[in-house]
Chains A and B, each alone.
Chain A
Amino acid sequence: MVALFVVALASLACLEARLFYLQVLKFDDYRQIVDARRHLELPEGGRGRILDRTGAVLARDDRSFSLEVVLEDFRKDPELPARLARLLNVGVEEIDARVAGIEGRMEAVARRRPERERKAILRRESRTPYPFVKNLAFEQACVVEVNPDRYPGLPVRQELRRVYPEGAVAGHLTGYTGLISDREHRDLPNSRRGLERLDEAIGVEDVNGLWERGRFQEWTIGRGGIEEQYDAHLRGRVGLTLKEKRRNAPAVEVELLAQENGNDVTLTIDLEVQKTALKALGGHVGAVVAMDIRDGSILVMASTPTYDPNVFIPPVDRDLVRWYFSEGNGTPMANRAMSSPYPPGSVFKTTTAMAALTDGRTDPAHETRCTGAFQGRARTLRCWLDIGHGDMGTVEALELSCNVYFYTRGSELGVLPIGRWAYRMGYGSPSGIDLPREFGGKIPLSGTGDIASSVAIGQDTVTITPMQAARAAAFIANGGRLVRPRITTLQEPWVDQNPPVDAAALETVRRGLIAVPRTGTAKGTALKDFKVAGKTGSAQVVLGRPTHGWFAGYWPHDDPKHAIAVVVEFAGHGGAVAAPIAEQVVRAISERIP
C-alpha cells in the first residue's frame, strides 16, 4: 500500500515537472504560437447624426470602402505601389510613406521583445492586416476586390464615411471629423479618450498593446463645432471581435464587445432660416445670430465666408484645405458669429443708456444739446451728424444714435459703471454656449481722459461677438434676465432668475429701441412691420475704410420672443447694410417659427 502511494506521488511529480518545463521554461514560445493564431478586430459603431430642429440631416454616416494591407503579400510584387498609386490617383511616394509608417509601427512592436524573438514577431506582424487607405470610391474598391492577382495583400473592408449633405450651409456648426492627430494619438494612453469600454473589456495593458500596434491611428475625432463639442456623444462605441485562425476551417469569431452606434444630436437651428441668412449676407463678410430669448435656443448662426466640411473627410483635397486655412482668403474657418472680436459701435449705446439711467444722475427727459461735436477733456469728439441733432433725451438719442449725448453720459459716468453694465448684459465673458472656441469679448473697466466717452459709443478697446449682441438684446427684451444660449437640445436651457433691473430704465431703453425701425436709424426697412425693436451700429475699425455695420434687436416688442444680431464687415452704416439683412432673417423666422 505504501508502494502504491509512492507510485502515485511519483506520477504526480512527473506531471508537475512537465508543467514546470512547459509553463516556466518554455512558455514564451507557446505564448507566441497562441498569440499568432489570435487577432483582435475593432469594428467601429456608426457616428450619430446631426439634425436641425425639424429633423433635417446635417451630418450622417454613409457606407464606404477602405483598404488594409498585409505587407508580406504586398511586398511580393515590386510594381504594386506604383499600380496602386495610379488607381488611387496619388503619388507613389505617398504609398511608400504609408508603408514606411506601418513598418515603423511593426518595428516598434518588435523592439519591446528580446532580440531573439524579433524576427518571429516581424514575420507575424507582416501577416497581420494593417489599416492602409480610407474612403475609396466604389469603383476603386471593386478593382482591388476583383483583381486579387494584381492587388495582392490588400483586403477591402466596408467602412463608414462621414457626409455633410448640406455642405457649407452649416459648416461652422457641424464642424468635421478628421484622423486623430499624432499628438492626440501619443497622448491616448494617458487621456484614454474613447478607450473606456475597451479598458473595461480587456484591460488597460492589452489596450495599450493595441495602441502600440497603431490600431487607433486611424481613429476619427470631431474637429470644430458640434463634432468636437459632442464627440463623446456622437462617436460610435468601438466593439471588439476576437478572431482565431484554424487550419482547414473557417476562423472562429467571438464577439467580446458589440459595437454600438453613437447618439444623434439635434440642433436648435432651423436649416431653412440658416440658408436665408447666408443668402441675405450674400457676398459680404459677416455673421447673423438669432435666438429664442425664452430658452436661449439659437435659431440661426451664420458666418460668411463659410466652408464645406466634406472637404476634410478623407481622401482630403489638400490644396483646398490649405486655402481654407491660409491668410488672406477671408478666414473661412472662423465662426464669426461667436469666435471673432468686433467693436460694437453704437449697438453698445444700449448698455451705456442702461448704465446712465440706473446711475441716478440721468433723467431720461433731461435734454442734452447736440451741436455735432463734443468738447472732451483732451480733444473734440464728433457726432456722426455734422450739423448736430439738437436737444436730445435718452429715447431720442437711442432712436437717432446721437454720439454727443452718449459722449456726455460717458464722461459723467466714467469707464467702470459702463463696464459693469456690459458684464451684466453678458459682454466680456463667454456665454456658455455648447460650441467650442467661443470668444469672450473684451470690456475695459478703467481709463482716463476721453476714454469713457469713446467706450460709451462702443469704440476704444471694446470688442464683442454677434452672439453677445443678440444675447444683450434678449436681456433688454427679457426684463433684465440673462439667458444662456444653446445650440443643441442636449444643453439644458438656463435663464438668470435674478430680480429684473430698474423697470423704468428698461422701459425707457425699450422705447428708444422701438423707435429705431420706425423713425430712427433703421427706418428704411420693413423691420417695423414685424414689430422689431433694435439698435443699429456703425463701428469704425480702419480709418479710410467703410465701417462695420451692425443691427441688434428683438421682436415682437409687445411680446418679445426672438432676438437677432447682424454684423457686416466694412460695408457701411448698420441701418443701410445690416438692418436689411436682419429684415430678411426676421421674416423667415416669423414665417417658420411661431
Chain B
Amino acid sequence: MTPLRETPWRPAAAALVLTGVGLTAIWFLWPPNPAKSGYLGSTFIRQVIFAAAGVAVMLLAALPHPARVRRLAWPLYAGGLAVLAVLLGVVDPMRGTRGWFAVGPFTVQPAEFVKVFTILALAEFLAYGRWKEGARGFVVASLIAGVPAALILVQPDLGTALLFVPVLFAMLVTAGASRRLLLAGTAVLALAAPIGFMTALKPYQRDRLTAFWRPEAAGDQTYQTRHALSATASGGPMGRGLGGSVTPYPFTIPDRHTDFVLSAIGESLGFMGCTLVLTLYGAILYELFRIAWSTKEPFGRLVAVGVAALLFAQVAINVGMTIGMMPTTGLTLPFVSYGGSSLLTCFLAMGLAIGVGRHKVHTLRRGT
C-alpha cells in the first residue's frame, strides 16, 4: 500500500476550492428555495450532491494502481462508444440535442465521460510498442480519438468534440510522435476544417463561428457573448460584491450558472476573483505535469498529460469565449460550472491522474 503522504493532494485541494467558488456563485445566482422547487430541484443543492459524488469518484479512481486501470481502458472505451451510438439512434432528441438520458431526477451526458475513457484508451494504445511512434500508430491513435469525437459532433456538440484535438495532440507529443507527423496531422486538420465547416455543421453552429470573426454582421448571434463580456468586465478590479448588489442576478445571459459562470464570478468578485480561478487552474496544470514528469511508466504519464490537456483546453475555450477571445461553444468551466456529468467527469479525471501520482514508477526495466 502506498503511504498516504505520497499521494499528491494539492491538485485535489485546488479542485475543491474551485468547486467551492462555483457553489458560491450558484448560491447567489439561484439561492436555494426548497419551498418552490423542493430540495432536489434546487440548483445549489443538486450541485452540492454532484460535488460530494464527485469527490467520492475521485477517491475511488485514485485508489487502484494504474496497471489495473489499464486493463479497464478498452472495455470502458468500447462501452462509452456503444452508449453514444445508441443515444444517437434510439433516444429522442431532448432540448434539440441528443446526448442526454435521464436517471431519476438527473440527466446524464455520456459524452462527458467518454472524454476520459478516450484518454485511457489512447494512453493504453500509445504506451508501449515502438511502431506506434510511426505513421501507422499516428493514424490509429487519430481514429481512437476521432470516432468518439465524430459521434459527439453529430449529437450535435461541437465544443466537446473539438476538445479531442488538443488532447490527442498533447498525448502524441508525449508518446514521442515525430514532428513531421504532427505537422502533417495539423495540415490535414487545417484542410479538413473548412470542408467540415460547410458540410458537417448545423447552420446555427456556423453562425456562432462566423459571428466571432465578423461580429458586425452577426446581429443577435453575439448577444450572449457580448453580455457575458460586459458583465464580466463590469465587475472591475474587486468586483461588485456577492449578493449585496443587485448586479449578480442572472439576467440576459442564459446559462449563467453553467457555461458562463465565469461572467458571474467576474461581475461579483472582479479581476481578483477571476485571477484566483485562473491561478488555481495554473496550479492544477503544474501539479499534473509534475506527476507526468515524476513517473517513468508511459501509461500513467500519458494519462496525466491527457487529463492536463483536457482540463486546460476546456478552461482556455470557456474563459476565452466568456471574454470574447473564442467563439461560443457550449463548454463548461471544469469544477466551477453547474452540471453533474461535467463535475463528475472532472473529478474522475483528476482521480485517475492522482492515482498515477500515488503509484509513481521511478525506474523502468527495458525489455518490454
Q: Using a CB–CB distance below 8 Å, which chain A residues touch chain B?
A: 1, 3-5, 8-9, 11-12, 14-16, 18-20, 22-24, 26-31, 33-35, 37-38, 40, 202-203, 205-206, 240, 242, 244, 246-248, 252, 254, 256
B252 CB-CB contact with A under 8 Å: yes
B249 and A254 within 8 A (CB)? yes
User: Are A22 and B174 also in contact (CB < 8 A) when A12-B281, A15-B323, A16-B278 are?
Assistant: no
* SS class, residues of chain B in contact with chain A: helix
B246 CB-CB contact with A under 8 Å: yes
B230 CB-CB contact with A under 8 Å: yes
B319 and A34 within 8 A (CB)? no
Instruction: Name 17 interchain pairs, CB-CB below 8 A, sorted by A.
Output: A1-B305, A4-B308, A8-B309, A11-B312, A14-B325, A15-B320, A15-B325, A19-B232, A20-B271, A27-B237, A33-B230, A203-B241, A205-B244, A242-B246, A247-B220, A248-B220, A254-B249
A40 and B246 within 8 A (CB)? yes
A24 and B173 within 8 A (CB)? no
Taking CB atoms and an 8 Å cut-off, the chain B residues in 47-73 that contact chain A are none
Most chain A beta carbons < 10 A, residue from B220, B234, B308, B320: B234
User: Are A34 and B247 also in contact (CB < 8 A) when A19-B271, A22-B229 are?
Assistant: yes
A1 and B173 within 8 A (CB)? yes
Contacts of B244 in A (CB 8 A): 202-203, 205-206
CA distance A19 to B289 in the complex (A): 25
Q: In the complex, which of the residues A1, A14, A22, A28 contacts B292, with contact meaning CB atoms closer than 8 Å?
A: A1
Whole-angstrom distance between the Cβ of B173 and the nearest chain A Cβ: 6
CA distance A178 to B286 in the complex (A): 67
User: Are A1 and B271 also in contact (CB < 8 A) when A11-B312, A34-B231 are?
Assistant: no
Whole-angstrom distance between the Cβ of B226 and the nearest chain A Cβ: 9
B41 CB-CB contact with A under 8 Å: no
Q: Which residue of the partner chain A has the closest CB to B288? A: A5
Task: Other than A14-B325, A19-B232, A252-B251, give 15 A-B pairs with Cβ distance below 8 A.
Answer: A4-B173, A4-B289, A8-B285, A8-B308, A9-B282, A9-B285, A19-B323, A22-B233, A24-B237, A27-B234, A34-B267, A203-B241, A240-B246, A246-B252, A247-B223
Q: Which residue of the partner chain B has the closest CB to A23? A: B271
Contacts of B309 in A (CB 8 A): 4, 8
Q: In the complex, which of the residues A3, A8, A20, A244 contacts B252, with contact meaning CB atoms closer than 8 Å?
A: A244
Contacts of A242 in B (CB 8 A): 246, 249, 251
A33 and B170 within 8 A (CB)? no
A1 and B293 within 8 A (CB)? yes
Contacts of A20 in B (CB 8 A): 271
Q: Which 8 A-B pairs have the closest CB atoms?
A: A30-B233, A23-B271, A27-B236, A22-B233, A203-B244, A31-B234, A34-B234, A30-B234
Q: In the complex, which of the residues B173, B231, B275 contacts A16, with contact meaning CB atoms closer than 8 Å?
A: B275
CA distance A29 to B320 in the complex (A): 20
Q: Using a CB–CB distance below 8 Å, which chain B residues touch chain A?
A: 170, 173-174, 220, 223, 229-237, 241, 244-247, 249, 251-252, 266-267, 270-271, 274-275, 278, 281-282, 285-286, 289, 292-293, 305, 308-309, 312, 315-316, 319-320, 323, 325
Most chain B beta carbons < 10 A, residue from A5, A18, A28, A203: A5
Q: Which residue of the partner chain A has the closest CB to B226? A: A33
Contacts of B312 in A (CB 8 A): 8, 11-12
Whole-angstrom distance between the Cβ of A343 and the nearest chain B Cβ: 59
CA distance A20 to B236 in the complex (A): 9
Whole-angstrom distance between the Cβ of B5 and the nearest chain A Cβ: 25
A30 and B251 within 8 A (CB)? no
Whole-angstrom distance between the Cβ of B225 and the nearest chain A Cβ: 13
A244 and B251 within 8 A (CB)? yes
- Total A-B Cβ pairs within 8 A: 125
CA distance A31 to B246 in the complex (A): 13
Q: Which residue of the partner chain A has the closest CB to B266? A: A23
B234 and A202 within 8 A (CB)? no
Q: Which residue of the partner chain A has the closest CB to B289? A: A5
Q: In the complex, which of the residues B246, B285, B315, B325 contacts A256, with contact meaning CB atoms closer than 8 Å?
A: B246
Whole-angstrom distance between the Cβ of A350 and the nearest chain B Cβ: 61
Q: Which residue of the partner chain B has the closest CB to A1? A: B174
B251 and A206 within 8 A (CB)? no
Q: Which residue of the partner chain A has the closest CB to B292? A: A1
Whole-angstrom distance between the Cβ of A29 and the nearest chain B Cβ: 8
A24 and B246 within 8 A (CB)? no
Q: Which residue of the partner chain B has the closest CB to A16? A: B278
Contacts of B293 in A (CB 8 A): 1
CA distance A254 to B256 in the complex (A): 15
B235 and A23 within 8 A (CB)? yes
Contacts of B241 in A (CB 8 A): 203
Contacts of B319 in A (CB 8 A): 15
CA distance A334 to B308 in the complex (A): 82
CA distance A256 to B267 in the complex (A): 18
A37 and B252 within 8 A (CB)? yes
B271 and A24 within 8 A (CB)? yes
A23 and B236 within 8 A (CB)? yes
CA distance A205 to B305 in the complex (A): 48
Whole-angstrom distance between the Cβ of B60 and the nearest chain A Cβ: 27
CA distance A31 to B232 in the complex (A): 9
Contacts of A24 in B (CB 8 A): 236-237, 271
A1 and B251 within 8 A (CB)? no
Whole-angstrom distance between the Cβ of A183 and the nearest chain B Cβ: 29
CA distance A370 to B281 in the complex (A): 107
CA distance A33 to B281 in the complex (A): 30
Contacts of A31 in B (CB 8 A): 233-234, 236
A254 and B173 within 8 A (CB)? no
Contacts of B234 in A (CB 8 A): 27, 30-31, 33-35
Contacts of B274 in A (CB 8 A): 19, 23
Contacts of A22 in B (CB 8 A): 229, 232-233, 323
CA distance A203 to B240 in the complex (A): 11
CA distance A33 to B267 in the complex (A): 13
CA distance A12 to B325 in the complex (A): 12
B278 and A15 within 8 A (CB)? yes
Whole-angstrom distance between the Cβ of B365 and the nearest chain A Cβ: 22
Q: In the complex, which of the residues A9, A18, A246, A256 contacts B249, with contact meaning CB atoms closer than 8 Å?
A: A256
Q: In the complex, which of the residues A3, A206, A246 contacts B246, with contact meaning CB atoms closer than 8 Å?
A: A206
Whole-angstrom distance between the Cβ of B48 and the nearest chain A Cβ: 24
CA distance A112 to B213 in the complex (A): 39
Contacts of A40 in B (CB 8 A): 246
A206 and B285 within 8 A (CB)? no
Contacts of A30 in B (CB 8 A): 229-231, 233-234
CA distance A1 to B286 in the complex (A): 12
